[in-house]
Amino acid sequence: MANNRKAILISNPGELGQENYCKGVYVDIENYRRLLTSPEGGLWDADDVLHLDRPTTKDVREWINRISWRDYVFVMFTGHGWYSSADRDRILELKKGEQIASLELLKDARKRTLILDCCQKVHTESLMEKKAAQMTAFAAAEALRIADPQRCKKLFLESIEKAPEGIVTLTSCATGEVSTDDDARGGRYNGSVIECVDDWFQAQAKNRHAHGGESLSVVAAHECAAERTRRLSAGTQNPGVEKPRSLPYFPMAVFA
């Protein structure tokens, strides 16, 4: 069973001191790092989780080229962005004067999950509207079942192996909408993803009749997060998903 996987977490809070500076993106980074390196997240090695903070376009492109051979790649962007009606793609702002089209993050993809928590206003400026997000902290103290780290890692890798080649892209809002950020809780969508995973994991831990080997797909996690995001935003932020028609999908979390 191959263990050739790589996660790239990309962040851009904006320019320090500016009105649209969103330090909550770093909450997103730590939440995903914690999830990925935990048993339920697949027990990724720390070296397999890379954080690129305000990188250059060249750096991102080089890393995407470098990891194209991997069996599975997980990419998450949190920060500023906009939608180009000319290119018909989401443009991600990496730092002042540096940007990249989201489709470039899918270059040479075999099995890849892409999560984008950024605005999709159809113009070239990005001013994020700050709104409160909801996310629970990880709480496993009350768990009635304890996850086995190595079994979780094995199950995660097996789930990736079973999934057909393809790309799953999850976006935090629809074209023309804005994504939201909170200094303490991170992005509304990303926070909801983490919250849904935490709730799912705690439910598995409390289910004394389960036999283990449960898996939550990236699509199922998205559907849960999308519903919460729509509710929290009163319908003004509507996450989307682009996925293959065939099952199974890549795992977001496991319990074994």
Q: Please give the CATH number for the structural domain made up of 5-251.
A: 3.40.50.1460
CA distance 14 to 36: 25
Domain residue spans of the chain: 5-251
How confident is the prediction for the chain on average, in pLDDT? 87
Q: How many CB atoms lie within 10 A of CB 108?
A: 11
Residue 175 in contact with residue 123, Cβ under 8 Å?
no
Query: pTM score, two decimals?
Result: 0.74
C-alpha neighbours within 13 Å on the C-beta side of residue 65: 6
Q: In this predicted structure, what is the pLDDT of residue 127? A: 29
**Amino acid found at 8:** I
CB 28 within 8 A of CB 68: no
pLDDT in tens, 107-153: 999 999 999 998 777 643 332 332 333 333 344 344 467 889 999 99
Torsion angle (degrees, nearest 10) of CA 194, 77, 74, 122:
110
pLDDT in tens, 158-168: 999 999 999 99
CA angle, 35 then 36 then 41, to 5°: 75
Which residue type, as a one-letter code, is found at position 143? A
**DSSP single-letter state for residue 201:** H
pLDDT digits (tens, 9 = 90+) for 151-198: 999 999 999 999 999 999 999 999 999 898 877 678 899 999 999 999
Written as one letter, the residue type at 102 is: S
